[in-house]
Amino acid sequence: MVFILLFGKMFEQTSRLNRRQYLSDCSIPKKRFLVLLVMMLAVAGVSAQSVPDDSDDAQFWNETTVAIPLKRKENADGSKTDIVNLNVLATLRLGRGGLNPVDKRLGLGFDIRLNKAFILSPSYYFRAGEPVTGQKETEHRLRLDLATEKKFSPVSLKWRGRLEHRFRLDSSDSTRLRNKGTLKIPVKANNKELFSPFVAEEIFFEFQSGRFSSHEFTAGVSKEVVKGISAELFYIRKDNRSGDVRTINGVGLNLKIYLGR
């Protein structure tokens, strides 16, 4: 209940931030998905060579998750629902005026389905970063997520709240509440989902400073590449209120691999 109350409090505060309106093109033919991927990666390579100043960076982001089912429930129609998954997590981010590693992470976590509406996800991440040349950062992160999704034909809305504590070896610790909303528009043919354009916005609130610390906007396309493997191709902009890197523009490719499907 405490987490849900904090999650609700975050919604009340979001009106203080500037909002942006974005349109998502949902008419991209299926055959152009790989072409879009190549084009966005090319843009990342070019933009990484033209960072305007030290407070901005152009980056490439990747997060790969391997989901291992530990407990499943068989439904009346013969399908199965994952009740508990073990997640192996890996993150790599490249930037700093080129394709230099700026953020490397490894972690473990669980997805626990509480009921039809909510999924609870505790996780641990080890992070090693170097956002600015010579400035190395080391962190241990503990996270607790609560997520829910509701489908309103033809769109779906997903909300995720995250309580995160960062144990920092090089500076003061930080505790943050993160609220993320995602709007997804599935594109279907013959009642089969081909891919899903989406937009997402995430807001970070830091308890130590008592203020909003970061803001992320994401727009992209998700698709099941083959059975058991899904991908997200996206553009991201992140604005920070503190730190050496204040603005990040980048593209990313996330992968999720489901074992046992």
Residue 80: what pLDDT?
87
Is 23 part of a structural domain of the chain? no
Task: Give this prediction's pTM.
Answer: 0.78
Is 111 part of a structural domain of the chain? yes
The count of structural domains within the chain is: 1
Is 13 part of a structural domain of the chain? no
Is 16 part of a structural domain of the chain? no
Q: Torsion angle, CA of 206/210/212/214, rounded to 10 degrees? A: -40
Joined together, the tokens standing for residue 79 give: 């399908």
CATH number at residue 81: 2.40.160.40
| 3-class secondary-structure state, position 194 | strand
Residue 54: what pLDDT?
66
In sequence order, which residues have a C-beta less than 8 Å from that of residue 47 and are 6 or more positions away? 58, 249
Is 140 part of a structural domain of the chain? yes
Burial class from Cβ neighbours inside 10 Å (0-12, 13-18, 19+) for residue 258 reads middle
Is 21 part of a structural domain of the chain? no
Residue 26: what pLDDT?
37
Which range marks the domain in which residue 164 is found? 32-258
pLDDT digits (tens, 9 = 90+) for 152-197: 888 999 999 999 999 999 899 999 999 999 999 999 998 888 999 9
pLDDT band at 23 (very low <50, low <70, confident <90, very high): very low
11-20, 70-79, 116-125, range with greatest mean pLDDT: 116-125
